[in-house]
Chains A and B, each alone.
Chain A
């Protein structure tokens, strides 16, 4: 029922009125079922309590809905200005970025496509391979904490390269001004040629980002730079660059990525 029934129909409140016990019991019972707006309490209605009208229901600052919300057809969940659905605790996520030669190669001269692995294959020692992180892999507002290059050395080496490969990342303004995400590049530091080649197995190089690493896609793009090995004992193809693993932290809400 939408409302309680009157215990005495309108027009029958005569004076003096002698209430019969049944009516008093109904009055007493009805009052116990009302929501106590002053003292609060707990209710478990057997049917939903429905509020209609146009004036709405306003819940105060300490109100919390823990039973879930269902927006039926025509219903709407509207966010306050500048608000987004927020996580109770900061979230993390990992994104895997495949590497393909779309302009990550320098016109096919510094890198090309490995037909064996379907990934980048570097060709020139000392070359800087620029890799723009595709926008789909940038999590706007999150902190990019780590960038892992997943790679394998292309051929066995008789000796270590004089300079082993390095990894750095930059955020870039619309005009191309760069700011590094780490104080220094991460560099491969294997102790021997055997360790460097690692039997051709997949290896990883992790860049820990410490600055300029809160992603802002409205102002910046983000470029990874792989600096290929240099010096003696370099062999072409040099390195197979499989993928980037991006580690995001401090994801506070569900704002647009």
Chain B
């Protein structure tokens, strides 16, 4: 029903009818069914309460229980009147996420090709002519990263395979950078903890033996922990990983190293802004 029923019309009341006990009971009963806007409470209506007209304005939190929902139509939508987005509360699983990026060399290079088996970059030529004292950075190849705008890039896990058994003088090195519109490069890792140099380069740990380095061609990983410039801002920066292959003496002979992927872990995702 649209409203509670009137006991009597205004016209009938104007004649001063005798109020019976049953009349008061009816008014009382009807009142008990009314929604108490001051003190709140719980109601379980047997039919839907349909509010049309000027609608309802909630200046308070509205909690939709499991099963309840908002259904939009072409006319009635969900509208954010300012820069709001859907908010992800503290326990939402999407407040952090992992994105895997397939490594791809952005530039054609004489020393980087495509591994025919994996479709991933493979180094082709050991630069043994490069002096061992050559200091990083030395760019072998650059690969664009897929990022989550507004999130905090926490870690990047690189996966690689060593092509053959050997132990080079200088290990492969990795870094994660952002580049602004004028080309200024900023590493996402500082020298804190001595894991990286001033330019953000972190070297693969040098094992004791060639066999340990090769690891029978199995996939190996390097964890790169970001600690600066790590809140993603796609309006102002592009993001890349940069990989410098092994160099110096004792390099590989015929089979280079394959660099598969960069698995990026993002945290601090507070809302569902466009990506």
Stretch at the interface among B84-92, B171-179, B181-189: B84-92
For residue A65, CB closer than 8 A to chain B, the reply is yes
Structural contact, A59 and B68, CB atoms closer than 8 A = yes
CB distance from A104 to the nearest CB of B (A): 8
Structural contact, B63 and A51, CB atoms closer than 8 A = no
Contact string against A for B residues 99-126, beta-carbon threshold 8 Å, 1 for contact and 0 otherwise: 1111011101110111011111100100
Structural contact, A56 and B38, CB atoms closer than 8 A = no
| Count: A-B pairs, CB below 8 Å | 333
Give chain B interface residues in 17-33, CB to chain A under 8 Å.
Answer: 17, 19, 27, 30-31, 33
Structural contact, B72 and A68, CB atoms closer than 8 A = yes
For residue B146, CB closer than 8 A to chain A, the reply is yes
Structural contact, A77 and B60, CB atoms closer than 8 A = no
Across the interface, name the chain B residue whose C-beta is closest to A106: B114
Alpha-carbon gap, A28 to B55, bound state (A): 24
Contact string against A for B residues 147-188, beta-carbon threshold 8 Å, 1 for contact and 0 otherwise: 010000000010101000000000000000000000000000
Structural contact, B63 and A66, CB atoms closer than 8 A = no
CB distance from A132 to the nearest CB of B (A): 4
Structural contact, A48 and B116, CB atoms closer than 8 A = no
Interface residue total, chain A, C-beta cutoff 8 A: 97
Across the interface, name the chain B residue whose C-beta is closest to A67: B76
Partner of B6, one of A28, A42, A86: A28
For residue B70, CB closer than 8 A to chain A, the reply is yes
Alpha-carbon gap, A70 to B70, bound state (A): 11
For residue B46, CB closer than 8 A to chain A, the reply is yes
Structural contact, A57 and B68, CB atoms closer than 8 A = no
For residue A15, CB closer than 8 A to chain B, the reply is no
A103-B8 contact, Cβ under 8 Å, with A77-B78, A81-B89, A217-B99: no
Interface residue total, chain B, C-beta cutoff 8 A: 109
Stretch at the interface among B194-202, B242-250, B256-264: B256-264
| Chain B CB within 10 A, most for which of A22, A43, A67, A81 | A67
A25-B13 contact, Cβ under 8 Å, with A36-B34, A107-B112, A256-B272: yes
B interface with A by C-beta (< 8 Å): 1-8, 10, 13-17, 19, 27, 30-31, 33-35, 37-38, 40-41, 43-73, 75-82, 84, 86-89, 91-94, 97-102, 104-106, 108-110, 112-114, 116-121, 124, 146, 148, 157, 159, 161, 219, 221, 258, 260-261, 263, 269, 272, 275
Given contacts A21-B15, A80-B66, 8 further A-B contacts (CB under 8 A): A32-B4, A39-B33, A43-B50, A46-B53, A46-B54, A79-B88, A107-B124, A175-B261
The 14 sampled A-B contact pairs (Cβ below 8 Å) are A27-B27, A34-B31, A34-B34, A36-B45, A42-B50, A49-B54, A49-B55, A58-B65, A59-B65, A67-B51, A75-B84, A86-B69, A107-B113, A178-B118
